[in-house]
Structure 1
Amino acid sequence: MIAKRLVLTLLTGLLLAGTVTTTAHAEDGYRFWGYYQYTGGQWAFAQKGSEAVVPADGSVEGWRFAVGGAKPRTPRAAGDFNAICGATPAETGKKRVALVIDSGTPADSASGATPPPASGTCVVTDLKATGAKILAAVKPVRIEKGLTCGIDGYPATGCGDQVKNISVPATDEPVKLEIGAPVGAAPAPSASPSPSADAQPAKGHKVGWAGGVLILLIAVGGYLTSRRRTKFLKQ
């Protein structure tokens, strides 16, 4: 009995030590773009493909490229709707959806290339727009066999490739999104330029000058007529 307790104690100690010191676990997985929705303050792996999801107004969509296994690798930035769409006015008959695109880390790349920075974009679109349409409105998408294989040219090749003996970090370091200009939003109304004070009188100046010339001609004509009469009376 004592020996059994000793073995259990040693095993428990080893398991606890492994839990504390191990930051990654090895398994077989895939290198792919994952599709997520941000709800309740956290990312959740989409239960349907982006073609079948119709996000509601105020939703947050997310895409993350990573090497993943049993545990999904979610976008490394929070899906803050106000930070992404807060400055974009709502429009009647349309919806605003915040889109987060996280291309992952160099370790997620097959070649170790540096991926584009994570971005956030507010998409203003029709109420029936799907997740796929929202993504395509922001970046070009490479589709192969019905799968989203590349976003904005990253990666250039490959699609859901299997990776043997992957090492997945227990946690990912959070990143700050680069917030881009909204897509599909109506242009802000520009104030029509009012005529300047200097431009208005130009026509009036011309009319005033012509009137002055006319008055001068009448005055000269009157003066000449008066002289003729005086000269005629003297004769």
Structure 2
Amino acid sequence: MTRTSSAPLRTPVAALLAVLLAASGVLLGAGGAQAAGYRYWSFWEADGKSWAYATQGPSLVRPDDGTVQGFRFAVSEDSADADRPRHAADFGAICADTPAKGGAKRVALVIDPGTAEDAPAGEKPPALRTACAQVAPDASSAEALASVAKPLRYDSSAMICAISGYPKSGCGEQVSGDGNKKDGSEKPSAPAPSSAPATDDGSGSGGGPSAGLLLGIGAILLLGIAAVLQARRRR
């Protein structure tokens, strides 16, 4: 008997593909919803007139006289997603009112507590400010910061938790979110230093679908293609 119409076959096949595509969309959406960031103070060094993410923590860096360094509080997934300080890295402008002195060095600091969107619940970020620290020639960046922005708070791994008492609590805690920045800051591409919060998903990235999730979606689509081919062979 000759089949006169393929409509009865096409309808189930189309329905199957629609279900598979919907399932893929749900899985991708779930992957995106799992994206998270960390709320912390990031440490920056001047690269000419621009900012570069520091590759060492401030307690390890011993800046030269005339150095400009920055601290920015924000929510970010990793160093590649971190927001730069929102002030120019200009030593001359920041230290203009602090004359050089024998037996001391000057370090210009930009302290940017970030925006209200990045603030912990119930807290309001203080205003961005600059300071010119005049410290001993062998002083670290952490010592320079402490000379102008006490009280500082650190965790057991020497990560800065608070500058000038902000925020009142917490330290590099994970927070939910999509990682999108709303203040237009340019984002760096430097690798994450040891002082940045580490992700705990083992994926090596700060968010987005994991390799396992993508493999699962691929398997679903392959099964769908196989079903379509089998249906065609039965015509």
Shorter chain as normaliser: what TM range? 0.5 to 0.7
- Secondary structure, aligned partner of 1:138: coil
Does 2:93 correspond to 1:83? yes
C-alpha distance in structure 2 between counterparts of 1:153 and 1:118, whole Å: 14
Residue matched to 2:64: 56
Equivalent residue number for residue 142 of structure 1 = 153
The one-letter code matched in structure 1 to 2:154 is I
Q: 2:50 and 2:183 mapped to 1: Cα distance?
A: 14
**Percent identical:** 43
Mapped partners of 1:84, 1:32: distance in 2: 24
Aligned to 2:229: none
Tell me the distance in 2 between the aligned counterparts of 1:52 and 1:163.
28
What per-residue deviation string (whole Å, max 9, x for no partner) do you get for residues 13-59 of structure 1? xxxxxxxxxxxx98321000001111222111110011110010000
CA distance in 2, matches of 1:132, 1:111: 27
Q: What is the alpha-carbon distance in structure 2 between the residues aligned to residue 173 and residue 113 of structure 1?
A: 22
How far is the alpha carbon of 1:170 from its aligned partner?
A: 6.2
Give the number of equivalent residue pairs: 150
Q: Secondary structure at the match of 2:74?
A: strand
Q: Distance in 2 between matches of 1:40 and 1:69?
A: 26
**Stretch moving more, 49-58 or 83-92:** 83-92
Say whether 1:42 aligns with 2:42. Answer: no
Aligned equivalents of 2:59, 2:44: Cα separation in 1:
13
| 1: CA distance, partners of 2:183 / 2:91 | 23
Q: Please tell me whether the aligned partners of residues 77 and 179 of structure 2 are also in contact (alpha carbons under 8 angstroms).
A: no
Match of 1:165 in 2: 177
CA contact (8 A) 2:83 2:185 kept: no
Whether the aligned pair in 2 keeps the contact of 1:53 and 1:131 (CA below 8 Å) is: yes
Query: What is the aligned partner in structure 2 of residue 65 from structure 1?
Result: 73
SS at match of 2:114: coil
Unaligned stretches of 5+ in structure 2? Answer: 1-31, 187-235
- Equivalent residue for 2:113? 103
Pick 1 or 2: higher relative contact order, CA cutoff 8 A, min separation 6. 2
| 1:133 alignment partner, one of 121, 143, 148 | 143
- What CA deviation, in whole Å up to 9, does each residue of 1:170-215 have, x standing for no partner? 65379xxxxxxxxxxxxxxxxxxxxxxxxxxxxxxxxxxxxxxxxx
CA distance in structure 1 between the aligned counterparts of 2:70 and 2:123, rounded to whole angstroms: 22
Aligned counterparts of 1:61 and 1:32: Cα–Cα separation in 2: 16
Do the aligned partners of 1:88 and 1:122 also contact (CA within 8 Å) in 2?
Answer: yes
Amino acid at match of 1:37: E
Give, as a single letter, the amino acid of the residue that structure 2 aligns with 1:57.
Answer: D
- SS across alignment from 2:88: coil
**Is residue 67–residue 166 contact of structure 1 (8 Å, CA) maintained in 2?**
no
For the residues of structure 2 that align with 1:88 and 1:118, how far apart are their CA atoms?
Answer: 19
Specify the alignment match of 2:217 in structure 1.
Answer: none
What's the TM-score once normalised by structure 2's chain length?
A: 0.60
Aligned ranges for residues 187-206 of structure 1 at < 5 Å? Answer: none
The 2-side partners of 1:172 and 1:118 are apart by 16
Q: Which structure has the greater CA radius of gyration?
A: 1
Residues 84, 185 of structure 2: 8 Å contact kept = no
Tell me the SS of whatever aligns to 1:167.
coil
2:178 is paired with a residue whose SS is strand
* Contact 1:76–1:172 (CA under 8 A) maintained in structure 2: no
